[in-house]
Amino acid sequence: MKYYIIAGEASGDLHGSNLIKELKKLDTSAAIRCWGGDKMQAGGGELVKHYRELAFMGFTEVLMNLRTIFSNLKFCKEDILQFKPDALILIDYPGFNLRIAKWAKQQGLKVIYYISPQVWAWKENRVKMMKGCIDKMIVIVPFEKEYYQKKWNWDVEYAGHPLAQEIERHKEQGTRHKFSNKPIVALLPGSRKQEIMKKLPVMLEISKNFPDHQFIIAQAPSVDDSFYKTFSDPYSNVSLVKNQTYDLLLQAKAALVTSGTATLETALFGIPEVVCYKGGFLSYQIGKRLVKVKYISLVNLIMDKPVVKELIQNNLTAENLKKELQQLLTDENRIAEIKKDYASLKTLLRQGGDASANAASSIIKFLRQ
């Protein structure tokens, strides 16, 4: 069969690559065309467009790049029609993918959504449209199945969380490179330049208060080394790694992490973390009025309690960050409490089994019915 898969960011590229590998195991003649990144291409997909050309973050940046976004939508539709897939598989990235889903349904295509948009956080009114144009929804967050069933009478499938399996594999393999003889504080400032510019300077400012620790920045694959060096060069105990985030987390003692998938990855590695968020003034003011969740980190959302500290917008200061990191490095009771909650989180996310294999099996079964 022919599959057209669209992912629009680094996490989608990772999950898309594992899905592609599992689809090819079950359908040896599979032809897969995709939007994503290097991992999806390495996994066996024919890459049409890289996610680094699609990454626009925040309300103001989206407005500034509307022409590019509409051009990408037009090109994507034309490419799908030319490829004539048996299924269109959309991975998260709702601003783009929901537009494609609505259009694809009108073209008579089978539409499968893997990794639900976070409609429970904001833009909940999209669910009515989603029910009308998505033939099969596969979710990876435990509470989403109940949310869709109880609130929207929509029977979606929970496959387990793909990160649980992915990180377990990496932990079993171990790391081949030691980054420092000092205790390591991992810095995960995000994957887009505009979010890195907001958060990384605050993260780096506190490094001078911990001279016995090595602060290591996990670089985003799509961002140039020179961009990071403008921030890191003044600091003697700061270094950078690229394409080795998981190896870094295997060795870290604590982490400062931007909100998003990275908070969950850090937790699954068992690393105490502080979650950091700082956006542009306008984007934050708009978002604050639209988003309706108690927490910004997936760790706290899934566990439904403040497992990790969140420093948001004006609270993300060097003083506050220094205080929280000091506690994560020295307070044994706090560390033990976090790790106990992490163990419960891991158990919860692994209940579904291997998410990528489950999702691939479900997709093929659905298409063959």
What pLDDT sits at residue 175? Answer: 79
For the segment 202-225, the average pLDDT, to the nearest whole number, is: 94
What pLDDT sits at residue 13? Answer: 93
CA dist 23 and 45 (Å) reads: 11
pLDDT for 290 beyond 50: no
8 A C-beta contact, residue 141 and residue 368 = no
8 A C-beta contact, residue 216 and residue 184 = yes
Distant-in-sequence, close-in-space partners of 102: CB < 8 Å, separation ≥ 6: 129, 133
What is the share, in percent, of the chain residues with pLDDT greater than 90? 75
What pLDDT sits at residue 111? Answer: 98
- Phi, psi at residue 253, to the nearest 5°? -95, -30
Q: Helix 94-106 crosses helix 126-133 at what angle (to 10 degrees)?
A: 40
Tell me the domains of the chain and their CATH numbers.
2-160+353-368 (3.40.50.2000), 167-349 (3.40.50.2000)
What is the residue-averaged pLDDT of the chain?
90
What is the share, in percent, of the chain residues with pLDDT greater than 70? 92
CA dist 367 and 100 (Å) reads: 19
DSSP string for residues in 226-288: HHHHHHHTT-TTEEEEES-HHHHHHHEEEEEEESSHHHHHHHHTT--EEEEE---HHHHHHHH
Q: Using alpha carbons only, how large is the chain's radius of gyration in Å?
A: 20
Instruction: Express each pLDDT in 71-112 by its tens digit.
Output: 889 999 999 999 999 999 999 999 899 999 999 999 999 999
Other CB atoms closer than 10 Å to residue 84's CB: what's the count?
Answer: 9
Residues 298/300/301/303 CA torsion (nearest 10 deg): 110
- At 283, is the pLDDT very low, low, confident or very high (cuts 50, 70, 90)? low
- At 289, is the pLDDT very low, low, confident or very high (cuts 50, 70, 90)? very low
Instruction: Express each pLDDT in 28-51 by its tens digit.
Output: 999 999 999 999 999 999 999 998
Residue 294 tokens, joined: 């108690």
pLDDT for 199 beyond 80: yes
For the segment 178-200, the average pLDDT, to the nearest whole number, is: 92
What pLDDT sits at residue 285? Answer: 47
- Phi, psi at residue 273, to the nearest 5°? -140, 160
Q: Does residue 190 or residue 207 have the better pLDDT?
A: 207
Residue 310 tokens, joined: 């969140």
CA dist 62 and 66 (Å) reads: 6
- At 3, is the pLDDT very low, low, confident or very high (cuts 50, 70, 90)? very high
- List the single range of 76-90, 130-144, 219-233 with lowest mean pLDDT: 219-233
CA dist 249 and 254 (Å) reads: 9
- Phi, psi at residue 48, to the nearest 5°? -95, -45
Burial of 226 (0-12, 13-18, 19+ CB in 10 A): exposed
For the segment 163-176, the average pLDDT, to the nearest whole number, is: 88
